[in-house]
Structure 1
Amino acid sequence: MSLAENSNNWRSGLSLAECNRYMLTHQIHCDVTFRVGKEGKLVRAHKYVLSSRSPVFDAMLYGDLAESDDIIVPDIEPSSFDALLRFLYCDDDSFTPDRVTSVLYAADKYGVDDLVTKIKSHLDQNITNETVLTVLESAKSFNLEDLLKKCKNFIESDPFAVLQSSSALEMTKETLTYIISLDSLVMDELEIYRFLIKWAENQCDRVGIETIDQNIRAMMGDLIYLIRFPLMNLDIFVKDVCNREILNVQEQIPLQQVIVGNLDKKNTKLQFVERKSKTFCVLRGDCRMIDSWSCDGLADCIEFTVNKTVRIHGFVMWGGLSIPYAYTIQGKLFANSEEVSTVPVQTIEKRKSSDIKFTIPLPEPVRLAPSVRYRAWVRLEGPTSWRGHSYRSSVTDHGVKFNFYTHIGENNATSSDGGQFPGFVCSL
Structure 2
Amino acid sequence: MLTHQIHCDVTLRVGKEDKLVRAHKYVLSSRSPVFDAMLYGDLAESDDIIVPDIEPSSFDALLRFLYCGDVDFSPDTVTSVLYAAHIYGVDDLVTKIKLYLDQNITNETVLIILESAKLFNLEDLLEKYEHFIESDPFPVLQPPSALEVTKETLTYIISLESLVMDELEIYHFLMNWSENQCDKVGMEKTDPNIRAMMGDLIYSIRFHTMNLDTFVKDVCNREIVHAQEKLSLQQVIVCSVEKENTKFKFEERTCETFCVVRGERKDIERFWAYSRSLPDCIEFTVNKTVRIHGFVMWGVRSIPYTYRIQGKLFANSKEVSTVPVQIIEKRESSDIKFTIPLPEPVYLAPGVRYRACVRLEGPESWGGQNYRSSVTEHGVELVFYAHSGKTNGTSHTRGQFPGFVCSL
Give the TM-score, by structure 2 length.
0.92
Pairing 1:197–2:175 present? yes
1:137-174 deviation digits (Å, cap 9, x = unpaired): 11111111122111112112211110112321110001
Q: Contact (CA 8 Å) 1:316, 1:421: kept in 2 or not?
A: yes
Write the mapping of 1:161-310 to structure 2, written as runs, cut at 5 A: 161-287=139-265, 288-310=268-290
Task: Determine which structure has more spread, i.e. the larger CA radius of gyration.
Answer: 1
1:288-335 deviation digits (Å, cap 9, x = unpaired): 33424235232322222333321001212223566342324242233x
Return the offset for 1:382: 4.0
Paired position in structure 1 for 2:368: 388
Write the mapping of 1:352-371 to structure 2, written as runs, cut at 5 A: 352-354=331-333, 356-371=336-351
Write the mapping of 1:112-151 to structure 2, written as runs, cut at 5 A: 112-151=90-129
Paired position in structure 1 for 2:308: 327
Return the offset for 1:371: 4.5
Measured in 2, the distance between the counterparts of 1:307 and 1:155 equals 14
Return the offset for 1:189: 0.9
Measured in 2, the distance between the counterparts of 1:89 and 1:351 equals 74
Return the offset for 1:353: 4.2
SS of 2:307's equivalent in the other structure is strand
Measured in 2, the distance between the counterparts of 1:385 and 1:322 equals 12
Paired residue type of 1:152: E
Pairing 1:402–2:382 present? yes
Pairing 1:350–2:355 present? no
Write the mapping of 1:54-73 to structure 2, written as runs, cut at 5 A: 54-73=32-51
Measured in 2, the distance between the counterparts of 1:338 and 1:46 equals 68
SS of 2:81's equivalent in the other structure is helix
Return the offset for 1:92: 3.3
In structure 1, runs of 5+ residues without a counterpart are 1-19
Measured in 2, the distance between the counterparts of 1:368 and 1:405 equals 16
SS of 1:421's equivalent in the other structure is coil
SS of 1:269's equivalent in the other structure is coil
Return the offset for 1:241: 0.9
Report the CA distance shift for 1:206/1:338 in structure 2 as closer, same or farther (over 3 A): farther
Q: Contact (CA 8 Å) 1:296, 1:382: kept in 2 or not?
A: no
SS of 1:419's equivalent in the other structure is coil
Give the TM-score, by structure 1 length.
0.88
1:175-212 deviation digits (Å, cap 9, x = unpaired): 10111000010111111111111111111111111112
Paired residue type of 2:279: A
Measured in 2, the distance between the counterparts of 1:36 and 1:407 equals 64
Is the deviation greater in 40-49 or in 272-281? 40-49
Report the CA distance shift for 1:353/1:422 in structure 2 as closer, same or farther (over 3 A): farther
Q: Contact (CA 8 Å) 1:50, 1:88: kept in 2 or not?
A: yes
Q: Contact (CA 8 Å) 1:295, 1:385: kept in 2 or not?
A: no
Return the offset for 1:279: 1.8
1:346-365 deviation digits (Å, cap 9, x = unpaired): 23242524374333333332
Measured in 2, the distance between the counterparts of 1:378 and 1:166 equals 40
SS of 1:333's equivalent in the other structure is strand
Is the deviation greater in 361-370 or in 186-195? 361-370
Paired residue type of 2:256: K
Paired residue type of 2:13: R
Measured in 2, the distance between the counterparts of 1:100 and 1:418 equals 50
In structure 2, runs of 5+ residues without a counterpart are none
1:378-404 deviation digits (Å, cap 9, x = unpaired): 233444332223333333333433333
Measured in 2, the distance between the counterparts of 1:149 and 1:175 equals 14
What value does the CA root-mean-square deviation take over the aligned residues?
2.1
Measured in 2, the distance between the counterparts of 1:413 and 1:192 equals 40
Report the CA distance shift for 1:22/1:41 in structure 2 as closer, same or farther (over 3 A): closer
Paired residue type of 2:376: T
Measured in 2, the distance between the counterparts of 1:86 and 1:395 equals 47
Report the CA distance shift for 1:315/1:66 in structure 2 as closer, same or farther (over 3 A): same
Identity %: 70
SS of 1:185's equivalent in the other structure is coil
Measured in 1, the distance between the counterparts of 2:95 and 2:275 equals 62
1:247-284 deviation digits (Å, cap 9, x = unpaired): 11111001111111111222111101000111223222
Q: Contact (CA 8 Å) 1:84, 1:107: kept in 2 or not?
A: yes
Paired position in structure 2 for 1:375: 355
1:116-156 deviation digits (Å, cap 9, x = unpaired): 11111111111100000000011111111122111112112
Paired position in structure 1 for 2:10: 32
Measured in 2, the distance between the counterparts of 1:351 and 1:139 equals 52
Measured in 2, the distance between the counterparts of 1:366 and 1:104 equals 41
Paired residue type of 1:305: T
Measured in 1, the distance between the counterparts of 2:206 and 2:309 equals 36
Paired residue type of 1:283: V
Measured in 2, the distance between the counterparts of 1:226 and 1:345 equals 33
Measured in 2, the distance between the counterparts of 1:361 and 1:353 equals 20
Paired position in structure 2 for 1:414: 394
Paired position in structure 2 for 1:101: 79
Report the CA distance shift for 1:22/1:290 in structure 2 as closer, same or farther (over 3 A): closer
Return the offset for 1:368: 1.9
Paired residue type of 2:193: N
Measured in 2, the distance between the counterparts of 1:236 and 1:260 equals 13
SS of 1:22's equivalent in the other structure is coil
Paired position in structure 2 for 1:15: none
Return the offset for 1:107: 0.7
Paired position in structure 1 for 2:65: 87
